[in-house]
């Protein structure tokens, strides 16, 4: 807050005494300097809430706000997900929450978390079974895929994960 603005908050009898070189003017200028750091922080606060602009250390905090804290428990990269992908997931938090518990929601979460499209889910012949097909390009993120499937698929459903090799083959 500028010294002039602070002076304007004072009663008139005091404000009139804030002239250059006066004790009050010196105190107002000191108060202005004291507020500079806080005002700079407040003026840029919105960037802390923007997953595209926030410091990397804030990503787990934002992920927790949108229900993805489990994905990064232990730090921004502890879950095997890159900061850029985590930024995308946090930005899509509302959309992912709306689709949570559905096949399209799971497939979208897997695609964004790994950066690879082409995941598929197939209901098995046995009740309460599902097979998740993982594109070969995402095989390097198979631990992340397993964590996501384990968290998102209901416990009463047996989920099998198969990596689809180039050319159509697969392996578990």
Q: Over range 79-83, report the average pLDDT.
A: 81
Give the pLDDT band of residue 79 (cuts 50, 70, 90).
low
Give the pLDDT band of residue 31 (cuts 50, 70, 90).
confident
- List pLDDT tens digits, range 34-75: 888 888 878 888 888 899 999 998 899 999 999 999 998 765
pLDDT at residue 77 is higher than 60: no
End-to-end Cα spacing for the chain: 62
- List pLDDT tens digits, range 14-29: 888 989 999 989 999 9
pLDDT of residue 98: 94
pLDDT of residue 52: 94
Give the pLDDT band of residue 1 (cuts 50, 70, 90).
confident
Give me the phi and psi of 130, to 5 degrees please.
Answer: -145, 145
Return the domain boundaries, the chain.
Answer: 3-43, 53-98, 101-172
- List pLDDT tens digits, range 106-159: 999 999 999 999 999 999 888 999 999 999 999 999 999 999 999 999 989 999
Q: Over range 82-87, report the average pLDDT.
A: 92
Give the pLDDT band of residue 78 (cuts 50, 70, 90).
low
Q: What pTM, to 2 d.p., does this model score?
A: 0.73
H-only helix segments in the chain: 3-9, 12-15, 23-43, 59-65, 83-91, 93-98, 103-114, 142-152
pLDDT of residue 87: 95
CATH architecture type of domain 101-172? 2-Layer Sandwich (3.30)
User: Helix, strand, or coil here: 134?
Assistant: strand
Nearest residue to 113 (alpha-carbon basis) of 145, 70, 75: 145
């Amino acid at each position: 807050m500028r010294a002039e603005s602070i002076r304007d908050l004072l009663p008139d009898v005091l404000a009139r005494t804030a002239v250059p070189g006066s004790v009050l003017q010196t105190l107002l200028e000191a108060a202005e300097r004291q507020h500079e750091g806080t005002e700079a922080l407040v003026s840029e606060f919105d960037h802390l809430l923007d997953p595209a602009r926030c410091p990397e250390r804030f990503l787990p905090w934002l992920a927790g706000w949108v229900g993805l804290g489990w994905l990064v428990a232990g730090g921004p990269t502890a879950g095997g997900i890159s900061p850029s992908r985590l930024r995308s997931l946090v930005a899509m938090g509302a959309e992912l929450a709306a689709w949570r518990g559905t096949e399209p929601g799971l497939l979208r979460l897997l695609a964004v978390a790994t950066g690879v499209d082409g995941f598929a889910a197939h209901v098995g012949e046995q009740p309460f079974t599902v097979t998740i097909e993982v594109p070969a390009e995402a095989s390097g993120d198979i631990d992340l895929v397993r964590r996501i499937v384990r968290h998102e698929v209901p416990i009463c459903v047996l989920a099998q994960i198969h990596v689809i090799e180039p050319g159509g083959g697969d392996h578990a």
